[in-house]
């Protein structure tokens, strides 16, 4: 199983942005919930994402959409481990475990995961930092106000990018104190997680426009905009099914403004966008 090498790149901007394919083994995720809630279907979709050009697979067993209800670690493990085990045996693509629970992360690592994607930035489980340090794998720390259940209930900011940068400085210091290698930390500004959208206020657009400000932290930047609600609010498309073109536009902006990884559902279409924008902007 290959590990993610993005953290080793000097100045943390690859010649081409890496594509992280989303594989949700859940019944209730906002876009693809239930589609791959079966081991065989999930494995098949994982292979399709790889064939389409994914550089990383991000496998998750709990929906963290706005208003979602948490599940326990055992249920999450039961959902993701059979998929990780099979994909780990038949492919060498890096696998990220999308979880904020240390028990889930450690089990996934034992079966082949080589990255942790923690939406809580080590805040929801006091043992997650210890697991990340012990196994010395890349870990993505995401910014979020509140928790998934209430994160979209009246989020407030004075200067969103400054507040995100302050948050990451504190979280990075915490991670390093826990023993996580500084060169294993990835940062994710958390598009759609506790951000204002609609009524003329679009924090997510501000983040994409000002994304390069995060380069001051000297860490790889992960951006996940795929089919999220703010795209509907801009384009007046009510269903996630109708957000592909808007999603690809946000990916283009993210890549142009320095994203090192983009997390997406639509890998094949995204690959063309990444190839073109990288060739224009990163020569």
Establish how many alpha carbons lie within 13 A of residue 49's alpha carbon, considering only the half-sphere containing its beta carbon: 29
Q: Of 222, 215, 218, nearest to 261 (Cα)?
A: 222
Calpha distance 12→50 (Å, rounded):
23
Q: Would you call 228 a catalytic residue per the annotation?
A: yes
Q: Whole-angstrom Cα distance, residue 145 to residue 135?
A: 28
- Catalytic residue, chosen from 228, 243, 268, 271, is 228
Determine whether 263 is an active site residue.
Answer: yes
Token reading at 98? 């999308």
- Long-range CB pairs of 213-217 (<8 Å, 24+ gap) are 213/161, 213/165, 214/161, 214/164, 214/165, 214/168, 214/187, 214/189, 214/258, 215/12, 215/13, 215/258, 216/165, 217/165, 217/168, 217/169, 217/172, 217/187
Q: 96 near 112, Cβ under 8 Å?
A: no
Strands 115-118 and 95-98, by their bridges, are parallel
**Distance (Å, whole) CA 111 – CA 1:** 10
Catalytic residue among 263, 271, 282, 283: 263
**Cα separation of 190 and 144, whole Å?**
6
Structure-derived torsion over alpha carbons of residues 51, 92, 120, 127, reported in degrees to the nearest 10? 160
Task: Indicate which residues carry an active-site annotation.
Answer: 228, 263
């Amino acid at each position: 199983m290959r590990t993610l090498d993005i953290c080793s790149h000097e100045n943390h901007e690859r010649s081409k942005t890496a594509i992280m394919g989303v594989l949700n083994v859940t019944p209730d995720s906002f876009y693809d919930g239930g589609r791959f809630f079966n081991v065989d279907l999930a494995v098949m979709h994982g292979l399709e994402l790889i064939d389409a050009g994914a550089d990383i697979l991000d496998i998750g067993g709990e929906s963290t959409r706005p208003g979602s209800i948490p599940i326990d670690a055992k249920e999450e493990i039961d959902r993701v481990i059979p998929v990780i085990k099979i994909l780990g045996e038949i492919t060498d693509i890096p696998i990220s475990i999308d979880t904020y629970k240390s028990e889930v992360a450690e089990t996934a690592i034992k079966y082949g995961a080589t990255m942790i994607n923690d939406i809580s930035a080590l805040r929801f489980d006091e043992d997650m930092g210890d697991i990340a340090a012990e196994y010395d794998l890349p870990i993505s720390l995401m910014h979020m106000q509140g928790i998934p259940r209430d994160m979209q209930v009246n989020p407030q900011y004075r200067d969103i990018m400054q507040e995100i940068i302050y948050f990451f400085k504190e979280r990075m210091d915490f991670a390093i104190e826990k023993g996580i290698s500084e060169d294993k930390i990835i940062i994710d500004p958390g598009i759609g997680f506790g951000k204002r959208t609609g009524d003329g206020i679009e924090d997510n657009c501000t983040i994409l426009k000002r994304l390069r400000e995060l380069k001051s932290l000297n860490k790889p930047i992960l951006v996940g905009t795929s089919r999220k609600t703010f795209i509907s609010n801009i384009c007046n498309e009510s269903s996630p099914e109708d957000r592909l073109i808007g999603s690809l536009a946000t990916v283009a902006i993210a890549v142009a403004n320095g994203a090192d990884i983009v997390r997406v559902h639509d890998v094949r279409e995204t690959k063309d966008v990444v190839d073109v924008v990288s060739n224009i902007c990163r020569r």
